[in-house]
């Protein structure tokens, strides 16, 4: 599969179709400073409120991203912006677009990414990306891992805990990583999330329960190389973009080698981009095939549609394990932002507009709109 030369595809230009699209999104509040000027290592003396402020809106998009997506789609289609708030349902019902390009992360709870897709299903309006079931499932990392385990897809051994008492039942082997069960964009994952003993584990579990009011996922720590893999398409037409490796050698010495919140949003900034990515990853064809097979199976068993990004890390035996699946991948347009999906697309020769129109094309084909 994947025999097509994706460089040669002129997305939509040869097709004589112009779709009435709507772009659904959540925008980061501009009034509030999104990232506080923090030291790279988390200051544990911060109050809960300060801490919350740091990453509350980390998943949402800036106007830069929303406008870049709009401009990309506008090359071939009409685009109406619809903010994914309580008024969205009426607006969508009135507008009745041919198709919605959905990047909305939603409000509140583990099903937040499913909110707009669920409205669209009710209104019978086509949309890009996975359905409400897959979007909710992938945000619940523990549930996702249960399904991966059923299909024998390697994923780190894990427990989901709901209170401190449950820590004593775990038979997992340290070192461990502990994270909120249902967040993305490294929310709640700091250097301190890497724990070596029960005391550290308890401290971090308390932090997660207090600050995120949700279950905590505890996983055995995978010591190997880390990759992230972007996929576009459906069924036999699914394409895997060049694999991105996150290389931790250049991290400051006291940094735990994880793509933590500090690493993603503080250590790596537009002014000082962190050059820790290799794309395409320098890997043997054997490892490349193993990673691709694992990702394709994951994409298929989780019923991902149109696009997704899958995070992979090697275990002590060099076997690729799935860390988590992002059916609504981050797509910051500026290369300096080091957003991995657009980075993989660029390496494949796909511009930002090509990448997004390719996703739209996959969805449009799936609904037989073209």
Ligand X SMILES: Nc1ncnc2c1ncn2[C@@H]1O[C@H](COP(=O)(O)OP(=O)(O)OP(=O)(O)O)[C@@H](O)[C@H]1O
Residues lying near Mg ion in the complex (CB under 5 A) are found at 311
Do 130 and 305 contact (CB within 8 A), yes or no?
A: yes
**Contacted by 191, from Mg ion, ligand X, none: CB < 5 to 8 Å by type:** none
Task: Return the residue of 55, 183, 204, 245 that touches ligand X, per CB under 6 A.
Answer: 183
**Contacted by 241, from Mg ion, ligand X, none: CB < 5 to 8 Å by type:** none
**Contacted by 313, from ligand X, Mg ion, none: CB < 5 to 8 Å by type:** ligand X
User: Nearer to ligand X by C-beta: 68 or 189?
Assistant: 189
**Contacted by 60, from Mg ion, ligand X, none: CB < 5 to 8 Å by type:** none
Binding mask 310-349 for ligand X (x = CB under 6 A): -x-x---------xx-x-----------------------
Do 244 and 344 contact (CB within 8 A), yes or no?
A: yes
Q: Does the protein bind ligand X through residue 184 (CB under 6 A)?
A: yes
Span 91-120, contacts to ligand X by CB under 6 A: none
User: Minimal distance in Å, beta carbon 4 to ligand X?
Assistant: 27
User: Minimal distance in Å, beta carbon 211 to ligand X?
Assistant: 14
CB under 6 A: which stretch of 11-19, 175-183, 265-273, 353-361 binds ligand X?
175-183
Task: Return the residue of 153, 178, 182, 222 that touches ligand X, per CB under 6 A.
Answer: 222
Span 235-274, contacts to ligand X by CB under 6 A: 258-259
Q: Does the protein bind ligand X through residue 225 (CB under 6 A)?
A: no
**Which residue sits closest to Mg ion, CB atoms considered?**
311
Q: Does the protein bind ligand X through residue 226 (CB under 6 A)?
A: yes
**Contacted by 112, from ligand X, Mg ion, none: CB < 5 to 8 Å by type:** none
**Contacted by 68, from Mg ion, ligand X, none: CB < 5 to 8 Å by type:** none
HEC-encoded secondary structure of the chain: CCCCCHHHCCCCCCCCCCCEEEEEECECCCCCCCCCCCCCCCCCCCCHHHHHHHHCCCCCECHHHHHHHHHHHHCCCEEEEEECCCCHHHHHHHHCCCEEEECCCCCCCCCHHHHHHHHHHHHCCCECCCCHHHHHHHHCHHHHHHHHHHCCCCCCCEEEECCHHHHHHCCCCCCEEEEECCCCCCCCCCHHHEECCHHHHHHHHHHHHHHHCCCEEEEECCCCCEEEEEEECCHHHCEECCCEEECCCCCCCCCCCCCCHHHHHHHCCCCCCCCCEECCCCCCHHHHHHHHHHHHHHHHHCCCCCEEEEEEEECCCCCEEEEEEECCCCCCCCHHHCCHHHHHHHHCCCCHHHHHHHHHHHHHHHCCCC
* Residues making contact with ligand X (CB under 6 A): 156, 177, 179, 183-187, 189, 219, 221-222, 226, 258-259, 311, 313, 323-324, 326
């Amino acid at each position: 599969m994947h025999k097509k030369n994706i460089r040669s595809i002129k997305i939509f230009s040869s097709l004589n179709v112009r779709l009435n699209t709507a772009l659904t999104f959540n925008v980061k509040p501009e009034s509030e400073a999104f990232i506080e000027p923090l030291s790279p290592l988390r200051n544990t003396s911060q109050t809960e409120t300060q801490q919350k402020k740091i990453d509350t809106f980390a998943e949402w998009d800036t106007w830069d991203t929303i406008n870049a997506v709009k401009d990309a789609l506008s090359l071939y289609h009409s685009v109406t912006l619809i903010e994914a708030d309580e008024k969205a349902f009426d607006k969508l019902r009135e507008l009745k677009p041919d198709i919605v390009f959905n990047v909305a992360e939603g409000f509140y709870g583990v099903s937040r990414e499913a909110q707009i897709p669920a409205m669209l299903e009710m209104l019978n309006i086509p949309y890009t990306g996975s359905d409400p079931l897959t979007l909710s499932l992938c945000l619940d990392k523990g549930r996702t891992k249960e399904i991966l385990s059923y299909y024998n897809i390697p994923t780190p051994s894990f427990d989901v805990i709901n209170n401190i008492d449950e820590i004593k039942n775990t038979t997992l082997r340290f070192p461990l990583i502990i994270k909120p069960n249902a967040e993305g964009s490294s929310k709640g994952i700091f250097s301190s999330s890497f724990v070596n003993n029960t005391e550290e584990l308890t401290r971090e579990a308390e932090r997660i329960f207090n600050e995120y009011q949700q279950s905590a996922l505890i996983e055995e720590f995978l010591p190997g190389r880390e990759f992230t893999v972007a996929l576009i398409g459906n069924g036999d037409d699914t394409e895997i973009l060049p694999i991105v490796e996150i290389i931790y050698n250049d991290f400051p010495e006291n940094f735990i080698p994880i793509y933590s919140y500090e690493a993603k949003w503080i250590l790596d900034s537009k002014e000082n981009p962190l050059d820790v990515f290799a794309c395409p990853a320098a890997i043997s064809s054997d490892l490349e095939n193993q990673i691709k097979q694992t990702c394709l199976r994951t994409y298929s068993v989780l019923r991902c549609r149109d696009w997704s990004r899958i995070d992979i890390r090697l275990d002590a035996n060099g076997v690729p394990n799935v860390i988590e699946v992002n059916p609504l991948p981050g797509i910051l347009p500026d290369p300096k932002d080091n957003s991995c999906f657009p980075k993989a697309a660029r390496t494949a020769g796909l511009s930002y507009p090509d990448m997004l129109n390719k996703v739209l094309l996959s969805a449009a084909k799936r609904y037989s709109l073209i």
